Amino acid sequence: MLTHPQVQRYAVESGLRDIMIAEKEVVLTHMLQLMADRGLLDKLAFKGGTCIRKMIVGSQGRFSTDLDFTALTEHDHEEVILELMAAFEEPYHGLRFAIPDGSYYETQDGLSWGVNPSYAHDWNQAGLGEIKLQVSRRETPTMPVVVSAQCEQSYFKLLPFAPTAITCLATPEILAEKIRACYQRNKARDLYDIAMFAGKPHNQALVRRLVVLKLWQARDRFDPERLLAKIADSKAYDWEDLGQLVRRNQTVDSARIIADCLRGYRFLTGMSAHEIQLAADQHQRELKLWEKLGDECRAL
């Protein structure tokens, strides 16, 4: 683990308000490396806010404090947790990880599971630091996964290892996952993430179709107008939470974030007849149509 002065320097360079967020960024890099060393990442595809920062936008993105994955294969989550516990038995480059009793769970629908490992090191001995790790097994990835190098960070040169390349969802699928998250929950950090992509070129037809497929898999009906109305409701979001994850000199301009999203994702309203049909199928009766649209995604 980096020394306190090294992490403090990184926090200052990054414009962070809280050194503990910089600490967690470094801890996340160590945890990913440990999971890769033990073969645990072979079963998973990286996604979510930490993936966007570490693998796609680098220092331009907000900081994140958790790890999100999609399962690549069927697995027993208890076996994976046991493998994690075995991996955490020995200190790893000065970090001590542990899985506290009762910190792991499976959602009631059985579509995802998670665990909250704690960590401690020489200048944070209390063991109160925590990483939220969640794995979705709702579906296997629709698009082929990609193996990417991590975006360079200033502290990488201080690490005792070269940060590993990681298997990730394809960028359009990561974006579609984030849009699904915006549809199903109210988090300012999700809006911030999709706003970063709003002005960039991407395959709109592919992203829209992936959103429909993902909400069908979650047994939810996609209504793009409902999403846009939800985005427009500024009071529904905790902007102070987001403020802790961006640079100190970076103002969280909620009006601009909302405007960028409303303008950038208007294309979601242009669903095809088949997308409209699948979006209305909350009870997953249209399996063949779902398979057909998934196959077409890979051809887009």
Maximal CA-CA distance, the chain: 59
Which residues in the chain are classed under CATH 3.10.450.620? 4-168
Separation CA 297–CA 289 (nearest Å) = 12
Average pLDDT over residues 122-149: 89
248 pLDDT more than 90: no
- Token pair listed for 145: 């996964």
More confident residue, 93 or 76: 93
- Contact (Cβ atoms closer than 8 angstroms) between residue 23 and residue 129: yes
Share of the chain above pLDDT 70, in %: 99
Task: Of 106-120, 149-163, 240-254, give the range with the top mean pLDDT.
Answer: 149-163
Pairing of β 118-121 and β 132-136: unpaired
- In terms of Cβ atoms closer than 10 Å to its own Cβ (0-12, 13-18, 19+), residue 276 is exposed
pTM (predicted TM-score): 0.92
Instruction: Please give the pLDDT value at position 45.
Output: 95
Average pLDDT over residues 187-191: 95
Q: Is 217 helix (H, G, I), strand (E, B) or coil?
A: helix
Instruction: Please give the pLDDT value at position 28.
Output: 96
120 pLDDT more than 90: yes
User: How many Cα atoms sit within 13 Å of 239 on the Cβ side?
Assistant: 14
Q: Which of 213, 177, 217 is nearest to 193 (CA)?
A: 177
More confident residue, 4 or 17: 4
Instruction: Please give the pLDDT value at position 134.
Output: 92
- Contact (Cβ atoms closer than 8 angstroms) between residue 117 and residue 106: no
The model's pLDDT over 260-287, given as tens digits with 9 standing for 90+, comes to 999 999 999 999 999 999 999 989 999 9
Share of the chain above pLDDT 90, in %: 70
52 pLDDT more than 90: yes
More confident residue, 140 or 167: 167
Identity (one letter) of the amino acid at 213?
L
4-168 maps to CATH 3.10.20.30: no
Separation CA 138–CA 56 (nearest Å) = 24
Instruction: Please give the pLDDT value at position 291.
Output: 95
Beta bridge partners of 98: 118
138 pLDDT more than 90: no
The model's pLDDT over 207-217, given as tens digits with 9 standing for 90+, comes to 999 999 999 99
More confident residue, 78 or 83: 83
